[in-house]
Amino acid sequence: MMNKRRLTPKQKAFADHYIELGNATQAAIKAGYSKKTAAVIATENLTKPNIKAYIDEKMEEISSKRIMGAVEAMELLTSIARAEEVEEVVLATESGVKKVKKIPDIRDRQRAAEELLKRYAVSQSDKLQEDMLKARIDKTKAETDRINREVDTGETENIVIVNEWGYTDEN
């Protein structure tokens, strides 16, 4: 990359140490800058576009390789819930130590399933609420249609008008 080529060896060392340590002053010292000026140089280096771009690029590479994404996490939880994952367990026996492969127990499988369902709960809950709202709207429309039909035909004896306090006009 163009930004990578513009770094001096000392700047590259600073950036690499900064990524490793997370401390700019210590990274500057490790890269060979004077201890007296390390804090100032470190602050300056972190504001330089070429060094910042190099650090950002390297951090992106690290995160994409080392940090599990959402799809990978869901796949892992699914394989645990299905008992497809196997772990190696060390057991003490009379003759010494023995390594055995163990599938997830029911508790681990249940936890994995619960974690998976948490991710779906929001969307399922939203759908359920939406369905309930539609049902209420349909019921209200049907009641309104029935009342309108009764009013149109003059059959209003079953209609009671209630004010906001719950009393009929007759009270």
pTM of the model: 0.41
CA-wise closest residue to 45 among 81, 18, 69: 18
The average pLDDT across 44-59 equals 91
Distances (CA, A) of 39 to 19, 24, 29: 16, 7, 9
pLDDT at 1 exceeding the cut of 50: no
Tell the burial category of 98 from Cβ atoms under 10 Å away from its Cβ (0-12, 13-18, 19+): exposed
Q: What are phi and psi of 86, to 5 degrees?
A: -125, 135
Question: Does position 26 have pLDDT exceeding 70, yes or no?
Answer: yes
| Torsions phi, psi for 163 (to 5 deg) | -80, 180
